[in-house]
Amino acid sequence: MRTQVCIIGGGPAGLLLSQLLHRAGIDTVILERRARDYVLSRIRAGVLEWGTVEMLRKAGVGARMDAEGYVHGGVYLSAQNRGFRIDFDALVNKRVMVYGQTEVTHDLYDARDAMGGVIIDEAEGVTPHDLDADAPYVTYLKDGTEHRIDCDFVAGCDGFHGVSRQTIPDSVLRTYERVYPFGWLGVLSETRPADDELIYANHERGFALCSMRNMNLSRYYIQVPLDHEVAQWSDDAFWDELRRRIPQDVAETLDTGPSVEKSIAPLRSFVAEPMKWGRLFLVGDAAHIVPPTGAKGLNLAVSDVHYLYEGLKAHYADGESEGVERYSERALARVWKSTRFSWWMTTMLHRFPDQSAFDQRIQESELAYLESSEAARRALAENYVGLPY
């Protein structure tokens, strides 16, 4: 088989890149290790920067998002059970969209199917070859038979544990990482959201987040030690602990119920450089991971797609190589700024194992400064709604 761009990974980054390239007349094939049902069953966050919203519209997959998503013009922060609002509208005249990543993936799959996009599910043993030469190719196994795809470029959209980053030689690849000494216990419940907007809470007992999927489906998180297991936390224990950490007025009216899904996720910051080697491009989680505190994971993947799409479009339409050659440089400049913001939010809002009373008061003072300073609130709002591409 021959294509122009072989995309490894059928998550939202790979699907969006394929959709945009297809609309620009550029052929792609997607190789996905898992079955489609598995990809669509993954529970992920759903706060979309406005740049992500516009990218999905550009790809022709924004109709259901616009009809069913929830536009948020701000976010709440709290310390020691008392909160205040960051008003995105007033500060930066931009908003965010709450629309689940699972729904984004559904929409992208539907769009690729409607346009006849080639998606090969359950492709095993995917292996890129000759990435530093002029004629790369990718092999994979399907139903016990090896297949080969010849291509011009390979886009590695296969996540943190995927094969793409591992193909870059150790002498070239540099990685930067911070692993946080706690995790997030998340609960999905068929309950009314705690508030119309997200609430991020700092408390001496640990961080908490009140989020939502829709008006009847809520997502809540509390910080827990890494050695905790889901089985330790009954629904009642979770709700009791959440109430202790969030603003008092919200706790008093919190709608609770049985959990639909419950899991513990570790937190890390990770960046790999470069994001281009030969004819390989790393996209999304294959190149970087951020803690979910700043809602940047999917959004960073979309900004990578933007830079790569623009570069490939110019390459094929005009023979212009600058966008392709500078993809890594341009993408990483934004990646590091968003990594800083996610690290800052995480550091400000979480309780660390060796944290002293002094450290707790510093965090509370940081939040008090945000509440009192318009300039500080504007900086947070600018980063939260998404830096320009």
| Active centre residues (catalytic) | 72, 200, 292, 296, 384
What is the distance, to the nearest Å, from the Cα of residue 223 to the centroid of all Cα atoms in its chain? 19
DSSP 298: H
Helix, strand, coil content of the chain in percent (nearest 5): 40, 30, 30
Structure tokens at 327: 């993809």
Which residue from 80, 84, 82 is spatially nearest to 203, judged by alpha carbons?
Answer: 80
Spatial separation of the C-alpha atoms in residues 31 and 15, rounded to whole Å: 10
Is the peptide bond preceding residue 274 cis, with omega within 30 degrees of 0? yes
Which residue from 240, 274, 35, 74 is spatially nearest to 168, judged by alpha carbons?
Answer: 274
Structure tokens at 184: 């997030």
* Residues contacting residue 257 through CB under 8 Å, at least 6 positions apart: 189, 190, 191, 235
Spatial separation of the C-alpha atoms in residues 259 and 148, rounded to whole Å: 45
**Contact (CB, 8 A) for 88 and 75:** yes
**Which run of H or of E encompasses 237?**
helix 235-245
**Contact (CB, 8 A) for 48 and 298:** yes
* Residues contacting residue 237 through CB under 8 Å, at least 6 positions apart: none
